[in-house]
Protein backbone atom coordinates (compact mmCIF):
# COMPACT_ATOMS: atom_id res chain seq x y z
CA UNK A 1 0.00 0.00 0.00
CA UNK A 2 1.28 3.49 -0.86
CA UNK A 3 2.19 5.86 1.90
CA UNK A 4 -0.13 8.88 2.22
CA UNK A 5 3.11 10.89 2.46
CA UNK A 6 4.29 9.78 -0.97
CA UNK A 7 5.15 12.71 -3.24
CA UNK A 8 3.19 12.62 -6.47
CA UNK A 9 3.69 14.94 -9.45
CA UNK A 10 1.32 14.62 -12.41
CA UNK A 11 2.57 16.01 -15.73
CA UNK A 12 -0.61 16.71 -17.61
CA UNK A 13 -2.68 18.86 -19.91
CA UNK A 14 -6.39 19.29 -19.21
CA UNK A 15 -7.41 18.94 -22.85
CA UNK A 16 -5.95 15.42 -23.10
CA UNK A 17 -8.37 12.51 -22.55
CA UNK A 18 -5.51 10.16 -21.68
CA UNK A 19 -4.20 12.51 -18.98
CA UNK A 20 -7.80 12.97 -17.80
CA UNK A 21 -7.78 9.28 -16.79
CA UNK A 22 -5.08 9.98 -14.19
CA UNK A 23 -7.03 12.98 -12.88
CA UNK A 24 -10.16 10.85 -12.43
CA UNK A 25 -8.17 8.25 -10.48
CA UNK A 26 -6.46 10.82 -8.26
CA UNK A 27 -9.70 12.69 -7.60
CA UNK A 28 -11.59 9.51 -6.75
CA UNK A 29 -8.79 8.28 -4.49
CA UNK A 30 -8.42 11.73 -2.87
CA UNK A 31 -4.65 11.51 -3.18
CA UNK A 32 -2.84 14.86 -2.94
CA UNK A 33 -0.56 15.62 -5.87
CA UNK A 34 1.32 18.44 -7.53
CA UNK A 35 0.28 19.30 -11.07
CA UNK A 36 2.65 20.39 -13.83
CA UNK A 37 0.91 21.51 -17.02
CA UNK A 38 2.79 20.59 -20.20
CA UNK A 39 2.16 22.95 -23.12
CA UNK A 40 1.27 20.63 -25.98
CA UNK A 41 1.37 23.48 -28.50
CA UNK A 42 5.16 23.78 -28.12
CA UNK A 43 7.90 21.21 -28.63
CA UNK A 44 8.63 19.30 -25.42
CA UNK A 45 11.56 20.66 -23.41
CA UNK A 46 14.67 18.51 -22.92
CA UNK A 47 13.71 18.41 -19.21
CA UNK A 48 10.31 16.89 -19.99
CA UNK A 49 11.79 14.44 -22.49
CA UNK A 50 13.99 13.15 -19.66
CA UNK A 51 10.79 12.49 -17.68
CA UNK A 52 8.88 10.97 -20.58
CA UNK A 53 11.07 10.20 -23.62
CA UNK A 54 7.84 9.63 -25.60
CA UNK A 55 7.02 13.31 -25.07
CA UNK A 56 3.41 12.53 -24.17
CA UNK A 57 1.17 13.38 -21.23
CA UNK A 58 0.37 12.03 -18.75
CA UNK A 59 3.46 11.08 -16.76
CA UNK A 60 3.46 10.50 -13.03
CA UNK A 61 6.35 10.90 -10.65
CA UNK A 62 5.87 8.77 -7.54
CA UNK A 63 8.58 9.58 -5.01
CA UNK A 64 10.81 10.28 -8.03
CA UNK A 65 9.90 7.06 -9.87
CA UNK A 66 8.46 7.89 -13.28
CA UNK A 67 5.42 6.05 -14.58
CA UNK A 68 4.13 6.74 -18.11
CA UNK A 69 1.14 5.66 -20.25
CA UNK A 70 -2.28 6.58 -18.89
CA UNK A 71 -3.61 3.03 -18.43
CA UNK A 72 -0.46 2.03 -16.53
CA UNK A 73 -0.54 5.22 -14.43
CA UNK A 74 -4.22 4.63 -13.56
CA UNK A 75 -3.74 0.95 -12.76
CA UNK A 76 -0.70 1.83 -10.63
CA UNK A 77 -2.74 4.37 -8.64
CA UNK A 78 -5.62 1.92 -8.16
CA UNK A 79 -3.17 -0.75 -6.95
CA UNK A 80 -1.05 1.58 -4.80
CA UNK A 81 -4.08 3.07 -3.00
CA UNK A 82 -6.51 0.15 -2.40
CA UNK A 83 -10.11 1.35 -2.64
CA UNK A 84 -13.53 0.72 -4.14
CA UNK A 85 -12.04 1.24 -7.63
CA UNK A 86 -10.90 -2.37 -8.02
CA UNK A 87 -10.24 -5.28 -5.64
CA UNK A 88 -6.73 -6.68 -5.21
CA UNK A 89 -6.08 -9.68 -7.43
CA UNK A 90 -5.76 -11.95 -4.36
CA UNK A 91 -8.98 -10.69 -2.70
CA UNK A 92 -11.99 -13.05 -2.95
CA UNK A 93 -13.35 -12.66 -6.48
CA UNK A 94 -10.66 -10.06 -7.18
CA UNK A 95 -8.99 -11.72 -10.16
CA UNK A 96 -12.34 -12.32 -11.88
CA UNK A 97 -13.50 -8.77 -11.29
CA UNK A 98 -10.25 -7.40 -12.68
CA UNK A 99 -10.65 -9.60 -15.77
CA UNK A 100 -14.20 -8.26 -16.26
CA UNK A 101 -13.02 -4.65 -15.97
CA UNK A 102 -10.18 -5.36 -18.43
CA UNK A 103 -12.56 -6.85 -20.99
CA UNK A 104 -14.95 -3.90 -20.66
CA UNK A 105 -12.13 -1.39 -21.18
CA UNK A 106 -10.86 -3.40 -24.15
CA UNK A 107 -14.32 -3.50 -25.76
CA UNK A 108 -14.89 0.20 -25.08
CA UNK A 109 -11.52 1.20 -26.55
CA UNK A 110 -11.52 -1.03 -29.62
CA UNK A 111 -15.21 -0.77 -30.55
CA UNK A 112 -16.01 2.82 -29.55
CA UNK A 113 -12.97 5.04 -29.01
CA UNK A 114 -11.05 3.91 -32.08
CA UNK A 115 -13.90 4.50 -34.58
CA UNK A 116 -14.61 7.91 -33.01
CA UNK A 117 -11.03 9.03 -33.69
CA UNK A 118 -11.72 8.19 -37.35
CA UNK A 119 -14.44 10.85 -37.44
CA UNK A 120 -11.78 13.53 -37.15
CA UNK A 121 -10.33 12.71 -40.54
CA UNK A 122 -13.48 11.51 -42.35
CA UNK A 123 -14.09 13.76 -45.34
CA UNK A 124 -17.50 12.80 -46.71
CA UNK A 125 -20.89 12.20 -45.08
CA UNK A 126 -20.76 8.60 -46.35
CA UNK A 127 -17.45 8.06 -44.60
CA UNK A 128 -18.84 9.56 -41.38
CA UNK A 129 -21.98 7.43 -41.56
CA UNK A 130 -19.94 4.28 -42.13
CA UNK A 131 -17.83 5.07 -39.03
CA UNK A 132 -21.01 5.81 -37.04
CA UNK A 133 -22.50 2.47 -38.17
CA UNK A 134 -19.36 0.63 -37.04
CA UNK A 135 -19.51 2.44 -33.70
CA UNK A 136 -23.18 1.53 -33.21
CA UNK A 137 -22.63 -2.09 -34.14
CA UNK A 138 -19.76 -2.42 -31.64
CA UNK A 139 -21.80 -0.64 -28.99
CA UNK A 140 -24.85 -2.85 -29.33
CA UNK A 141 -22.98 -6.14 -29.77
CA UNK A 142 -20.06 -5.75 -27.42
CA UNK A 143 -20.43 -2.91 -24.93
CA UNK A 144 -24.16 -2.78 -24.06
CA UNK A 145 -24.22 -6.43 -22.83
CA UNK A 146 -21.29 -5.77 -20.46
CA UNK A 147 -23.36 -3.05 -18.75
CA UNK A 148 -26.24 -5.44 -17.94
CA UNK A 149 -25.74 -5.03 -14.18
CA UNK A 150 -24.47 -1.41 -14.12
CA UNK A 151 -26.05 0.35 -11.14
CA UNK A 152 -25.26 2.99 -12.13
CA UNK A 153 -21.53 2.14 -12.50
CA UNK A 154 -19.78 -0.93 -13.84
CA UNK A 155 -20.56 -4.32 -12.30
CA UNK A 156 -23.39 -3.10 -10.07
CA UNK A 157 -21.22 -0.57 -8.23
CA UNK A 158 -22.74 2.57 -6.74
CA UNK A 159 -19.29 4.17 -6.81
CA UNK A 160 -16.93 4.84 -9.68
CA UNK A 161 -14.72 1.84 -10.60
CA UNK A 162 -11.49 1.36 -12.52
CA UNK A 163 -13.70 0.73 -15.58
CA UNK A 164 -14.92 4.34 -15.40
CA UNK A 165 -11.45 5.70 -14.54
CA UNK A 166 -10.21 4.26 -17.84
CA UNK A 167 -13.21 5.22 -19.98
CA UNK A 168 -14.79 8.28 -18.28
CA UNK A 169 -12.74 10.89 -20.14
CA UNK A 170 -13.93 9.46 -23.46
CA UNK A 171 -17.51 9.05 -22.21
CA UNK A 172 -17.84 12.72 -21.22
CA UNK A 173 -16.30 13.82 -24.55
CA UNK A 174 -18.75 11.57 -26.40
CA UNK A 175 -21.63 13.23 -24.57
CA UNK A 176 -20.29 16.73 -25.25
CA UNK A 177 -19.41 16.21 -28.93
CA UNK A 178 -22.57 14.24 -29.77
CA UNK A 179 -24.61 16.94 -27.96
CA UNK A 180 -22.83 19.72 -29.88
CA UNK A 181 -23.62 18.04 -33.21
CA UNK A 182 -19.95 17.45 -34.00
CA UNK A 183 -20.62 13.73 -34.32
CA UNK A 184 -23.14 12.42 -36.92
CA UNK A 185 -26.85 12.36 -35.98
CA UNK A 186 -26.89 8.56 -35.90
CA UNK A 187 -24.77 8.69 -32.75
CA UNK A 188 -26.74 11.52 -31.18
CA UNK A 189 -27.71 11.05 -27.54
CA UNK A 190 -31.35 10.23 -28.35
CA UNK A 191 -30.32 7.68 -30.94
CA UNK A 192 -27.91 6.06 -28.44
CA UNK A 193 -30.65 5.92 -25.79
CA UNK A 194 -32.85 4.03 -28.22
CA UNK A 195 -30.25 1.54 -29.42
CA UNK A 196 -28.33 1.02 -26.19
CA UNK A 197 -30.41 2.18 -23.21
CA UNK A 198 -28.10 0.82 -20.50
CA UNK A 199 -25.12 2.51 -22.13
CA UNK A 200 -27.05 5.79 -22.34
CA UNK A 201 -27.91 5.65 -18.60
CA UNK A 202 -24.31 4.79 -17.76
CA UNK A 203 -23.02 7.68 -19.94
CA UNK A 204 -25.28 10.09 -18.00
CA UNK A 205 -24.07 8.81 -14.62
CA UNK A 206 -20.38 8.83 -15.60
CA UNK A 207 -20.52 12.28 -17.22
CA UNK A 208 -22.15 13.81 -14.14
CA UNK A 209 -19.69 12.34 -11.63
CA UNK A 210 -17.58 15.00 -9.84
CA UNK A 211 -14.35 13.00 -10.27
CA UNK A 212 -14.96 13.00 -14.03
CA UNK A 213 -16.05 16.65 -14.30
CA UNK A 214 -13.39 18.09 -11.96
CA UNK A 215 -10.91 19.28 -14.62
CA UNK A 216 -13.34 19.18 -17.56
CA UNK A 217 -14.04 22.36 -19.52
CA UNK A 218 -16.80 21.59 -22.02
CA UNK A 219 -16.41 24.79 -24.06
CA UNK A 220 -12.68 24.24 -24.49
CA UNK A 221 -13.25 20.63 -25.55
CA UNK A 222 -15.75 21.71 -28.23
CA UNK A 223 -13.39 24.45 -29.45
CA UNK A 224 -10.45 22.02 -29.44
CA UNK A 225 -12.37 19.34 -31.36
CA UNK A 226 -13.45 21.85 -34.03
CA UNK A 227 -9.89 23.16 -34.39
CA UNK A 228 -8.45 19.64 -34.59
CA UNK A 229 -10.94 18.56 -37.24
CA UNK A 230 -10.15 21.69 -39.30
CA UNK A 231 -6.40 21.08 -38.98
CA UNK A 232 -6.59 17.39 -39.90
CA UNK A 233 -8.92 18.09 -42.81
CA UNK A 234 -6.62 20.84 -44.12
CA UNK A 235 -3.60 18.56 -43.79
CA UNK A 236 -5.26 15.78 -45.79
CA UNK A 237 -6.75 18.11 -48.47
N1 LIG B 1 -0.85 6.13 -25.10
C2 LIG B 1 -0.67 7.38 -24.41
C3 LIG B 1 -1.32 8.46 -25.23
C4 LIG B 1 -1.10 9.83 -24.61
C5 LIG B 1 -1.26 10.93 -25.64
O6 LIG B 1 -1.45 10.69 -26.84
N7 LIG B 1 -1.16 12.18 -25.17
C8 LIG B 1 -1.20 13.29 -26.10
C9 LIG B 1 -2.15 14.38 -25.66
S10 LIG B 1 -3.81 13.83 -25.63
C11 LIG B 1 0.17 13.94 -26.15
O12 LIG B 1 0.85 14.06 -25.17
N13 LIG B 1 0.54 14.38 -27.36
C14 LIG B 1 1.78 15.04 -27.58
C15 LIG B 1 1.67 16.10 -28.59
O16 LIG B 1 0.56 16.51 -28.89
O17 LIG B 1 2.71 16.55 -29.03
C18 LIG B 1 -1.28 7.27 -23.01
O19 LIG B 1 -2.26 6.54 -22.88
O20 LIG B 1 -0.77 7.91 -22.08
Q: What are phi and psi of 22, to 5 degrees?
A: -65, -40
**Residue 5, pLDDT above cutoff 90:** no
Residue 61 pLDDT more than 90? yes
Pick the CATH number of 8-80 from 3.90.1150.10, 3.40.30.10, 3.30.2130.10, 3.10.180.10: 3.40.30.10
147 vs 153: CA distance, rounded Å: 8
Continuous segment of H or E residues that includes residue 226: helix 218-235
Q: Is the pLDDT of residue 151 over 80?
A: yes
Q: What pLDDT was estimated at residue 86? A: 98
CATH architecture of the domain with range 94-235: Up-down Bundle (1.20)
Residues ≥6 apart with Cβ < 8 Å to 58: 10, 11, 12, 16, 18, 19, 21, 22, 68, 70, 73
Give, using CA atoms, the residue closest to atom 14 of ligand 1.
56
> Rounded to whole angstroms, how far apart are CA atoms 178 and 189?
6
Ligand 1 centre to CA of 124 (Å) is 27
* Local confidence band at 43 (pLDDT 50, 70, 90 cut-offs): very high
19 C-alpha to ligand 1 centroid (Å): 8
> Does ligand 1 come within 6 angstroms of the Cβ of 105?
no
Q: Model confidence over 109-134: pLDDT tens digits?
A: 999 999 998 898 888 889 999 999 99
What confidence score (pLDDT) does residue 234 get? Answer: 86
Judging by DSSP bridges, how do beta strands 34-37 and 8-12 pair with one another?
Answer: parallel
Q: Which of 57, 59, 77 has the most ligand 1 atoms within 8 A of CB, as the residue to mutate? A: 57
Q: What is the mean pLDDT of the chain?
A: 96
54 by Cβ neighbours in 10 Å (0-12 / 13-18 / 19+) ranks as: exposed
Using alpha carbons, select from 153, 148, 157 the residue that is nearest to residue 167: 153
Q: Give the strand order in the sheet containing 59-62.
A: 34-37, 8-12, 59-62, 65-68
Q: How far apart are CA 139 and CA 141, in angstroms?
A: 6
Q: What are the residue ranges spanned by the domains of the chain?
A: 8-80, 94-235
**Alpha helices for 108-217 (secondary structure H):** 114-118, 125-138, 162-179, 189-195, 197-208, 210-213
Give residue-wise pLDDT tens across range 160-172.
Answer: 999 999 999 999 9
Tell whether the model's pLDDT for residue 85 goes beyond 80: yes
Categorize the per-residue pLDDT at 55 as very low, low, confident or very high, splitting at 50, 70 and 90.
very high
Amino acid sequence: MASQDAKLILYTNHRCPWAHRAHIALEELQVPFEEVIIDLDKPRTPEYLKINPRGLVPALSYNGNIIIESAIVSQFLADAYPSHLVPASNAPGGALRRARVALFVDAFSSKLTSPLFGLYTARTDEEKESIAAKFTEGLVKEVEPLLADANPFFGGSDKLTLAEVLTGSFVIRLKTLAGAGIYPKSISLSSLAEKAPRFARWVDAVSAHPSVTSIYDEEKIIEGAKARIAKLQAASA
